Amino acid sequence: MYLGDVAWPDLEEYFETESLALVPLGSTEQHGPHLPEATDHLIAEAFAREAADRTGYLCTPTINVGVSPHHKQFHGTMWADAPVFRDYVESITRNLAYHGIDRVIYVNAHGGNVEHLREVGRRLRDDEVLYAIEWMWDESIPDLVDDLFEQNGPHGGPKETSMIQYLDPQLVHEDRLEDARDGGVASVEASETVKHGSRTFFDAADNTENGVLGDQTDATAEKGERLFEAATDQLVQLAEWLAGRDFEDLLPRDHV
């Protein structure tokens, strides 16, 4: 069920019988010359809405802007500063508990959000308000990702390109895939900006001229569909697993 579409009386039964919410989060940031800035939040929303449709769990509207200062040198990247983003997500999530939600899956499609969502999850769990975990679609299907792509990217690479080719093909500039590959770098390692074990870069612009990594010509809509189906399946299973837990078992363990 998508929360945005329904009127409040029609939510009563859900809150009486279920306590799980899927919260999609992405980013609005450069994804190279070939992909739209909405890439991450489109992907997150697609997964969360699909899993909600298949399971009946509640999906909220999407948080479209995330923590993306590392892409700021490229036109149009939007971002919230990290402490502000954490507080915003925490506030929204904490307030969901008012309706009886006690477990949340952050359906996330932006790597830069991960650690912040984990920190928010800790705050809410340590306060015993709510149990919120972060799910990043590609981390649920690492073998398939490895099978499909020589070099998946990650940022703006064939993995994300395939997804948008499948989800919203007219947003992909198919004629720029070679340029995307040739103007970027194959991987972070290829940039040689990790020195003696220390990451000396902070921004995508420290590593790549056009903002992306990997071989975009390796992407197809068919691969996107396989990724989407496989990861949706994982998300569905995660939601069902989570819904089946006792809340007490989700709280922090006692002191030894």
Of the residues 22, 35, 46, 177, which one makes contact with a second copy according to CB under 8 A: 35
Of the residues 37, 50, 215, 218, which one makes contact with a second copy according to CB under 8 A: 37
Which is closer to a second copy, CB of 204 or CB of 218?
204
Q: Which of residues 178-237 bind a second copy (CB under 8 A)?
A: 195-200, 202-203, 205-206, 211, 231, 234-235, 237
**247 touches a second copy (CB under 8 A):** no
Q: Interacting stretch for a second copy, rule CB under 8 A, among 31-39, 147-155, 184-192, 217-225?
A: 31-39
Q: Interacting stretch for a second copy, rule CB under 8 A, among 147-155, 184-192, 218-226, 246-254?
A: 246-254
CB atoms under 10 Å from CB of 4, counted, come to 10
- Report, in Å, the least distance between residue 152 CB and a second copy: 15
**88 touches a second copy (CB under 8 A):** yes
- Report, in Å, the least distance between residue 220 CB and a second copy: 19
Of the residues 18, 53, 69, 243, which one makes contact with a second copy according to CB under 8 A: 69
- Report, in Å, the least distance between residue 256 CB and a second copy: 5
φ/ψ (deg, to 5) at 65: -120, 130
Q: Which of residues 122-181 bind a second copy (CB under 8 A)?
A: 122, 125-126, 133-142, 171, 173, 176
Which is closer to a second copy, CB of 123 or CB of 220?
123
